Amino acid sequence: MKRLSILGATGSIGTQTFDVIGTHPEEFSVVALSFGENIERALPYIRQYRPKLVSVKNDHIKERLRSLVPSSVEILSGIEGLVEVATHPDADMLINAVLGSIGLEPTLAAIEAGKTIGLANKETLVTAGHLVMERVKEKGVTLLPIDSEHSAIFQSMQGQDNKAISRLILTASGGSFRERSRDELKHVTVEDALKHPNWSMGAKITVDSATLMNKGLEVIEAHWLFNIPYEKIDTIIHKESIVHSLVEYHDKSVIAELGLPSMHVPIQYALSYPKRLELPQEKRLNLWELGALHFEKVDTKRFKCLDFAYQAGKLGGTAPAVLNAANEQAVEHFLNKRISFLQIEDLVERALNEHQMVSNPSLEDIREIDIRTRQQVNDWVKSHV
């Protein structure tokens, strides 16, 4: 039985991870988990799986939870709690499904502790890919991707000579506004942005999908995960979200992973790797029912955030951390209806243009730049509200 620690237990990836665990109770147990403040959603998991350790957002949530769970459950809070969950001595594997740059420190701690890591936290590799992958190599730990695109690439690489890869091709649905022109985007609402045509995701990721920043972050992730230069990572629009990504080899063969849109598949593949387990609740892909699949090039003038991500990735250093921090804050302001949809990319572009880059940043450099960038974005928004 594989013993798991889960960061972000009540989020979209976290809850779907519990779906997979519930399908295979003989394969997995949960020894530690974290969540923010959604006690109502977390309680059934705590009561069913009886983890030894639970971490929450702050001491207020900690006190509320204390009277609701057995005294045998240790409860911690804050970043210290996340690190303790990530490194719990009884866990074999960490599932990092927490949202945002807060996921970096517990990931590094889990690497130091020698844990296998299932990674669904984009920001870990986007902000500090050089530090993370260096430590992964030094410690000899296994880092398994959970994002559907990176899982598809990983699966398409199995049994192949990775030195023979000529190109990675990431597919993008195009998000909620893929049929709209830039003029039409000037007046879209938060409610419009959150209506993703294919996937059920959290609000922030759904907005990132609409700007294609989500794909940009995935490009940076793919660069670090698979050690492929940015010039060999392409993106295409594929509105059906059936082909989850592709790998082209030197002989021009292209291997892809296909399936109906579902995060249960990549989550389970990471949890069970290298085994494949049954997923009885998932529908079978019958291509004749779809009739046709469509692909088109990405217009980077239409999707500026994707272009910003490529630029930041190629610059390296602290540029990706600025990209990520500026985007997180801008999306938060959009979701709170303080800025328009197109102002998200304006704020990201300004942050990148005004940043003084550090070429080989330490973890402390990344933390400082993350905080500074968020404050700058907040100040810019306040000055125009």
14 marked as part of a ligand binding site: no
Residue 374 belongs to what H/E stretch? helix 363-383
Q: Is 13 annotated as a binding residue?
A: yes
121 annotated as a binding-site residue = yes
DSSP state of 162: G
Judge whether 173 is annotated as a binding position: yes
Is 340 within any annotated ligand binding site? no
Q: Exposed/middle/buried for 283, CB within 10 Å: 0-12, 13-18, 19+? A: exposed
Contact predicate 82/105, CB 8 Å: yes
Residue (of 382, 314, 381) closest to 352 by Cα position: 314
What 3-state DSSP class applies to 56? strand
How many whole angstroms separate alpha carbon 289 and alpha carbon 35? 39
The reply to whether 2 sits in an annotated binding site is no
10 belongs to an annotated ligand binding site: yes
DSSP per residue, 224-264: HHHT--GGGEEEEE-TT--EEEEEEETTS-EEEEE-SS-SH
Please identify which residue in the block is written with the tokens 């920001």: 123
> Are the CB atoms for 141 and 115 separated by under 8 Å?
yes
Report whether 202 belongs to an annotated binding site: yes
Q: Which residues have a Cβ under 8 Å from the Cβ of 49 and sit 6 or more positions away?
A: 21, 29, 30, 33
**196 annotated as ligand-binding:** yes
**240 annotated ligand binder:** no
State yes or no: 149 annotated in a binding site: yes
Decide: 216 and 308 in contact? Cβ < 8 Å.
yes
Q: Which long-range contacts (CB under 8 A, 24 or more apart) does 222-225 make?
A: 222/149, 222/150, 222/153, 222/168, 222/170, 223/129, 223/313, 224/125, 224/129, 224/130, 224/132, 224/133, 225/125, 225/133, 225/143, 225/145, 225/150, 225/153, 225/154
Q: Closest Cα partner for 345 from 300, 378, 308?
A: 308
- Are the CB atoms for 176 and 210 separated by under 8 Å? yes
Q: Look up residue 71 and give its two tokens.
A: 């005294």
Q: Tell me if 214 is assigned to a ligand binding site.
A: yes
Q: Is 215 annotated as a binding residue?
A: yes
CB 93 within 8 A of CB 5: yes
Q: List residues forming the annotated binding site for 1-deoxy-D-xylulose 5-phosphate.
A: 122, 148-149, 173, 196, 209, 214-215, 218
Q: List residues forming the annotated binding site for Mn(2+).
A: 147, 149, 218
Q: List residues forming the annotated binding site for NADPH.
A: 10-13, 36, 38, 121, 123, 202
Q: List residues forming the annotated binding site.
A: 10-13, 36, 38, 121-123, 147-149, 173, 196, 202, 209, 214-215, 218
